[in-house]
Structure 1
Amino acid sequence: MKTTPKAYLQITLDVDVVNRPNAAKVYTTYKKPFLKDIPGAISKELLIRDEDVQVLHGFNSVEEAQAYLRSELFNNDVVVGLKDLLKSDPEVRIYSAN
């Protein structure tokens, strides 16, 4: 039985179309470690629009979403992998799902 997220972390990335395959590679590389190693992680989806790329992360709680933003996986791997691909700072939002 699949668990329904109680919180979502949405990260919107401003990435040129030419760099999107590399951004998708970062997503793919760290999806399994995210789901396996991050406490409370339930899901991770890549959403591509004409104007940007979004990564939607599902968690058991808002606190676990906040903790992920402080994690080594996020800061030492994901952020480092994306930094040269971004045109501007990412927009980060956390939502509670009731």
Structure 2
Amino acid sequence: MAYLEITLKISNNNRPSAAKVYTDYKEPFLKQIKGAQSKELLIRDEDVQVLHGFASVVDAKAYLESELFNRDVVKALAPYLDADPEVRIYDVA
């Protein structure tokens, strides 16, 4: 098991639009991406995190190279970001 954590700086007024992007792409992520197991939206005052669960680190890295991520998700989120996202992959021991 592995987790992909993407931390996003999004102002409060843009959060509803960004949450819609999360909702729109959750099902395609779970159905189309190899090894995808879960996707959760975590909200804090200072940022928003999207936590993706995968079968392996290899699957998490492959998602970051996928068309769904780069062509669809990144493009849809871009107008709402206040800074570049922070991306981390964790291997579950």
Classify the TM-score, shorter chain: over 0.9
1:32 shift after superposition: 0.2
1:71 aligns with 2:66: yes
Question: Superposed, which structure 2 residues align to 1:1-98 within 5 Å?
Answer: 6-98=1-93
How many Å separate the matches in 1 of 2:20 and 2:41? 11
In structure 1, stretches of 5+ residues that fail to align are 1-5
3-state secondary structure, aligned to 1:23? helix
3-state secondary structure, aligned to 2:42? strand
How many Å separate the matches in 1 of 2:22 and 2:16? 10
Percent identity reads: 69
Number of residue pairs matched by the alignment: 93
3-state secondary structure, aligned to 1:25? helix
3-state secondary structure, aligned to 2:6? strand
3-state secondary structure, aligned to 1:69? helix
Q: 1:48-82 CA deviation, whole Å, 9 max, x = no partner?
A: 00000000000000000000000000001100000
Residue equivalent to 1:3: none
Moved over 3 A (4+): none
How many Å separate the matches in 2 of 1:23 and 1:56? 15
How many Å separate the matches in 2 of 1:80 and 1:25? 13
In structure 2, stretches of 5+ residues that fail to align are none
